[in-house]
Amino acid sequence: MDKLTPLTIAVPKGRLQSAVICLLEAASIDCSELRDPSRRLIVPVPGTKWRFLLAKPADVPTYVEYGAADLGVVGKDILLESRKDVAELLDLGFGACRLIVAVPESSGIENVKELDFNSRVATKFPVITTEYFNRQGIQAEVVELNGSVELGPIVGLADAIVDITETGTTLRENGLVPIADVARVSSRLIANRVSYKVKYATIHSLVVRLRGVLAGECSSGVEGAL
């Protein structure tokens, strides 16, 4: 690995952060500073010209598209929603969940085609949702929320939701059932298109190492985080 080439990796703060750290450490990248960043948002990789940038997950594609970061880790849901022009290099496997359409169980609806004309659909993913319903030929009103989307049908704001589900607990506890799959989601390694050309050797070498880790060629604690 060329540790003399400067490289900035955007790491999403929050639920994916520890899995990212485990994966990078398994690929022999020193994440000691990242494990304890305090309030720093730029964190160096000791002994290299590499650094991490700690970003809100939804902003990772933006930092990468504009070249503020050469690489980034982001969920496929956020990537699809962002419509940013970046290169998707690797499916990292972790953070796996489903993006689904769900309705109140009490509605008796079992298929999206049964939704009424102009049904309201609450979601954090208005772009993906609009495209999905257009593809299905269903007229729907998309209502954008920033979180706790499951509230929408409970309080009469929406007839359905499009949201991610991992364990299914949030849906169940709020009386909702999935009726359609919109997309399979997992974490992706993305690259700035120019960086990928200019720093190809360094980035490619990292991708090869990460592939090796994901294929189980490297013994480490990463499996536990995936």
**Least CB distance from residue 122 to ligand PRP, whole Å?**
11
Q: Stretches 17-25, 146-154, 179-187, 214-222: which one binds ligand PRP (CB under 6 A)?
A: 146-154
Cα 26 to Cα 130, 204, 225: the distances in Å are: 39, 16, 11
Binding to ligand PRP by residue 126, rule CB under 6 A?
A: no
For residues 51 and 61, give the distance between their C-alpha atoms in angstroms, rounded to a whole number: 17
Three-state DSSP class for residue 23: helix
| Helices then strands, each counted (H, E), the chain | 10, 11
DSSP for 82-135 reads HT---EEEEE---S-EEEEEEEEGGG---SGGGSPTTEEEEES-HHHHHHHHHH
Binding to ligand PRP by residue 219, rule CB under 6 A?
A: no
How many CB atoms neighbour CB 220 within 10 A? Answer: 15
Nearest residue to the partner ligand PRP, using Cβ: 147
**Least CB distance from residue 159 to ligand PRP, whole Å?**
18
**Least CB distance from residue 172 to ligand PRP, whole Å?**
8
Binding to ligand PRP by residue 38, rule CB under 6 A?
A: no
Q: Stretches 24-32, 41-49, 88-96, 164-172: which one binds ligand PRP (CB under 6 A)?
A: 164-172
Binder among 21, 164, 180, 222 for ligand PRP (CB under 6 A): 164
Q: State the residues that interact with ligand PRP by CB under 6 A.
A: 147-150, 163-170
